[in-house]
Structure 1
Amino acid sequence: MLGRRARLRWVHLILGGALLMPYWLLGTLVVAPLVGRPGMFTGSLAVQFGAYGVALPLAAVTALFPPARPMSVAVARTLCGVPPERFADGPAKSRAARARTAGWVALHVGLGGLVSGASLALPPFAVSVMALPFSAALRESEIGRFWSLDQRWLVYGGMPAGLAMLAALAVAAAGAGALLARQAPLLLGPTPADRLAAAERRAAELAVRNRLARELHDSVGHALSAVTLQAGAARKVLDKDPDFVREALAAIEETTRRTVGELDAVLGLLRQGEDDGELPGPGLEALDALFATTGRHVSPVVRGGDVAGVPDAVSREAYRIVQEGLANAARHASGEPVSVTVVRGEDALEITMENPLPARPPVTRPGGGRGLRGIGERARLLGGTAEARPVDGTWRLAARLPLGGGDR
């Protein structure tokens, strides 16, 4: 009852009493004329408790405003000894959250007013009672006459009675503080609407993180695969074909320069900690440069209209799908020819990539990679489909992206 937590809760109750005071003073202006006791300050218990009854609903009404919950949570989190994660964050927006906050404020200021009043009045009275055995003047005073008891009782019973009063005050304050601590998570904790909003925020944050991860995986993964292939090919013909080595080094330079730019853009979003819904990146117009840096074994075909008219979101995702498909072919079927077909239809963009299956199964990473999974996620985000599987001795990647997917 006298530990640090109990003392903090007692301070919390005193703050509640202080918050109640303006409402209580307003209540006395309403109640005093009704009981025939004009004036704000009066000793009438009827006026005091009547004003108390008026003050509680007034305090509850003011707590219906959304900012009341963050302020109450900030104080309760510090003084009530309740784990911080059990409180709700942010203003109360729903009707249920505001009603709970109003109930908390009424409970806080109600108990705080009673404990504050007792803390102000009871200790001096208890000390006076404890002093009765040592002062004849006190026994003849109003305090002694208040008890209307035999003088011998006042001499021998004053000390136990005073100590009992102080103990009762400590027990009442500790009990009121414990009651507030039990009710705080119920009244200031998250409502179902708050939990749903928090879940939606976490899902949105996770979607942004996954999206950024896909961007990094596709751009950096493709660049490393392309650079590795070009460097390996250049090393093999270093003394025989200097022209090819120059082309390979130029391709490596262009690939790394483009990838550094894309990496800077994505890391810029990470530094800002937000997503504006439009990740930067190349689109279908950059396919020629991508094919040029990938190698001589790529056979691209683009038909069915001007790809420049494809919506930006579809164009970016289509570029990343082609890029990841080329990176997978480079990793698992290095040196094999790859055919890339991009067809723009009336309502969708279709991408087909094929390469011969290698004679020897490729070495895969433990748990598999994330490239094909990322391709599927990109297609689904636009309302499309994607699949990758062996067909008649070739590996085929096929994706269909609705042209209206850029509006999603």
Structure 2
Amino acid sequence: MTNWTQAKGPGDSPKSNAITDVACPFCGLVCDDLEMARDETGLKVTKNGCEKAVAGFERNVNGAKPQIEGRDVDLETAMRAATDLIGASKLPLYGGLGTDVDGIRAVMALADKTGGVVDHALSEGQYRNFRVLQTRGWVMSTLTEARNRADVFIIVGSDLHKLHPRFFERIVNVETSLLTEQPAKRTVVFIGKGLDQSAVKGPRIGNIITLPCELNRVGEIIAALAAEVRGAPIGGDNVAGVPIADVRALAELCQKAAYPVFAWAPPSLAFDNADLVVSMVSDLVKDLNVKGRAAGLALGGNEGAISAGAVSSWQSGYPLRMSFASGKPDYDALRYAIPNMLATGQGDLLVWIASFSPDLGPPATKIPSIVFGTPGLKLAQTPSVYIPIGTPGADHGGRIIRVDNVVSLPLRNLGRSSLPSAANLLGAIELAL
């Protein structure tokens, strides 16, 4: 019988009940200062955790069983069934991709061997950034640079506190700076209605400004702001319901600031032509850099999305939405979007990987599906094969790339469970084919 469970190694769980300097994989910030404890009920976040960290680390994942068509089976049987389905597939679709660097490496190897298509579940949001980067270029900051240099943060139509609960605590409202012993207060600007401002408080926070437009009209504010910066102001008394005087004041603020940072989260810009907003912000940043300094900061990367894109790029030369069906990497951002392929009847097998959050469930589909998922994963229908897998950073060691794409952080095995890793299971299937 094959041993499908992960091998033990340097990431083995610590013996002490108190665990410090833990990296959290449950959002793209990958905060690495968490403190944990272990008791008879499992892991407990004791310090520096947010609601995402608590929900992720403290979930009970014990008792989940592999299944075939909803019937409990042993892991050996489930793995053989999954291997048979993948081996017989003519065009497998590898989606979800909620895993770490090693897991994505294993997906890429398996897709290469089986002629499959690779696409992350959150790619649509990422492509609001990719299209701008590919066609126009941009000037971007990093978390560390923004933390130490920015004096104005402009939040563009994005509820950053919901997606990244510790962003304001870790990046904006920090009491120290690498550059000065007495850092100045910061101005925080929100463009859009209904954005959570509850975390914008503390000694580093100065003015809080809101331009309360509807989120699908954020682009109008950015366009007017850019016109002011370029010296070609628009007419009228307001734009998108916001007084033009407020837009003009923001333009003056950005031009006088030492280092304004425009921050947005691609998943929040979920409206038609949202990539145009990203394009306009990027052009505005370039304009501000003519006489001063400014930068953008895109904040997404949940569910391992940044790791997936990075591994795809360095192993194939292309970003996600890429196919190996021709025997070599073939990239097309529209043709190889898995949601579109499923809707148009392309592909004969869906292989879904989701190891972080139970919310990243696979879509309903008419074709057979194999799900490698964290216990409790939300399923739209019963998959052909379901195999529970561990979470990198809780159940096994691993590595993940932070949202700003400049740092990869090690994830420790905290010993929450003995569930196998996606990398080991997918790697075993690749070897068996």
- The interval holding the TM-score normalised by the smaller chain is under 0.3
TM-score (norm 2): 0.20
The answer to which structure has the higher strand fraction is: 2
Instruction: Pick 1 or 2: higher relative contact order, CA cutoff 8 A, min separation 6.
Output: 2
